[in-house]
Structure 1
């Protein structure tokens, strides 16, 4: 019985040793820097670092752009206020009555028809046909 227990113990130790050998090989492949998870972790770490730099640069650019936009908004509000004041001041000014406009009096044409009003392109004659104004 003692020999049988020793054989079982040796077989179990040999099996555990073989299992540890297989696990060590898998662990080496797993942590390999070029092909395994170690390589993937290294690549991801480098990508995270690049992304952090890009985000910081974008944040700085957005802050500068925001400051410029605020300044332009202030300037546009100032100009809009000045324009409102100018429009209000023009509405207060009465038109000058020094130069009265003569009323438009149509002059008769030599053939007895009335001359077309300025700015009209067509005029109806007695028959209802449109003629080009001359």
Structure 2
């Protein structure tokens, strides 16, 4: 009886060894860096690293562009304010036709009819009308 138990024990050990051998070969093929899943994981890992580097470069470029755009916007607002002041100060300057004529002593000032000046605004927005539809 002892002999039969030993034979079964040796047979079980040989079967377990063969099973481990087959699993080891399959695992080696599975982790192969050229053809298996290990290769795919290695390629994906390299792509993720490249993507992270590209993302960091894009973030740095956008931060630089944002700072530049902020500076340009500030400068544009300052220039717009200066232009508004200049336009406002132009309203205070008398026109040449309204200014008194200086004449030399002893000469009479020439009488000339100044050209008629429009009193309306310089720029005007006209409303668009749809012709033919609302008649």
Both structures adopt the same fold (TM-score exceeding 0.5)? yes
Return 5+ residue gaps in structure 2 as ranges: 100-112, 117-135
2:102 — aligned with what? none
RMSD: 2.2
Larger relative CO (CA 8 A, sep 6+): 1 or 2?
1
TM-score where L is the length of structure 2 = 0.65
Q: Provide, for residues 18-72 of structure 1, a one-character-per-residue CA deviation record: whole Å limited to 9, x for no partner.
A: 1101110111011111011221122122112211221122122112211211121
TM-score where L is the length of structure 1 = 0.66
Higher strand proportion (structure 1 or 2): 1
Q: Output aligned runs, 1:1-134, within 5 Å.
A: 1-95=1-95, 96-98=97-99, 100-101=114-115
Q: Could you list the runs of 4 or more consecutive aligned residues of structure 1 that deviate by over 6 angstroms after TM superposition?
A: none
Equivalent residue pairs, number: 103
Distance 1:22 1:31 in 2: 14
Q: Which has the larger radius of gyration?
A: 1
